[in-house]
Structure 1
Amino acid sequence: MNTFWLHVLNYFFFGFHTVLIVFNLFGWLYPKTRKLHLYSLLITLFSWGVLGIWYGFGYCFLTDWHYQVLRELGETGMPNSYIAFLIEKLTGWLPEARLVNTIIIVLTVMAFIGSVWVNFFRKRK
């Protein structure tokens, strides 16, 4: 694949993956996106847990695909966590993996609880 399309894919993954992360954290707050949010979060958790059986816990196929593109573009030394990658790209600071993973798990569990609550237990108006 030529470098033009690799750059297009890089920008696509950077944008799409970042928006998806924000959506996975906050999509449950908006009534029109609650069901989609729950499905999105379940796919994310499936990737982390079930695909993680073969690829390592926390495996994200979007991160894998994006990192393949970045390696083709000559990028090296990328952290395992896409969140750590984003933080480093945006600020220049690479946080410790354990800190990032802890924050990711806590926020994801909170978003999942919120999503389950609004989708199954909250009375509809």
Structure 2
Amino acid sequence: MNTFLDYFFIIFHGGLVIFNLTGWAWRRTRRIHLLTIGLTVLSWFGIGIFYGWGYCPCTDWHWQVKHELGATHLPNSYVKYYVDRLTGLSWDSLLVDAVVLTLGVLAFVLSSWLNIRDHRSQR
């Protein structure tokens, strides 16, 4: 079951990250994008007050599964883990976190602005 969950999180969480970065670009996905990126930012800065800045429940759950599968020394960042894994390099965690934060906030701002613009144009 843990192997299935590991693959599930790879697909689901990876897809969520990609959608959070790009979902603002299409009018049909903008509302759901605003919801997902809003929940992501709320998790990073809201729940993050209690669990650490940038907290993501998907990462937490996935890392629990990976620990059950025997993984050790997992970084705090899901993106760092997979960028390291995909490139074979060990990326600086502060750099990865800065890029993730910048792109995440940019996606949130773009989504908010485009949703407001779309709402105004419909009236």
TM-score (norm 1): 0.92
1:79 aligned to which of 69, 72, 75? 75
State how far apart, in whole Å, the 2-side matches of 1:48 and 1:109 are. 11
Structure 1 position 46 matched with structure 2 position 11: no
> 1:69 maps to what in 2?
65
Query: What residue identity is the alignment partner of 1:124?
Result: S
Tell me the number of residue pairs that the alignment of Structure 1 and Structure 2 aligns: 121
Match of 1:60 among 43, 56, 60: 56
Question: Unaligned 5+ residue runs, structure 1?
Answer: none
Q: SS of the counterpart of 2:121? A: coil
CA distance in 1, matches of 2:85, 2:95: 17
Structure 1 range deviating more: 106-115 or 10-19: 106-115
Match of 2:100 in 1: 104
Task: For 1:33 and 1:71, locate their aligned partners in 2 and report how far apart those are by CA, in whole Å.
Answer: 34
How much does 1:17 deviate? 0.4
Runs of 4+ in 1 over 4 A off after TM superposition: none
Once the two structures are TM-superposed, the CA of residue 94 in structure 1 deviates from its matched residue by 2.0
C-alpha separation in 2, matches of 1:13 and 1:94: 22
- Output the TM-score relative to the length of structure 2: 0.94
RMSD: 1.2
* 1:35 aligned onto 2:31: yes
| Same amino acid, percent of matched pairs | 43
User: Is 1:18 aligned to 2:14, yes or no?
Assistant: yes
State the match for 1:91 in structure 2.
Answer: 87
List alignment gaps of at least 5 residues for structure 2.
Answer: none
Cα separation, 2, equivalents of 1:113 and 1:64 = 26
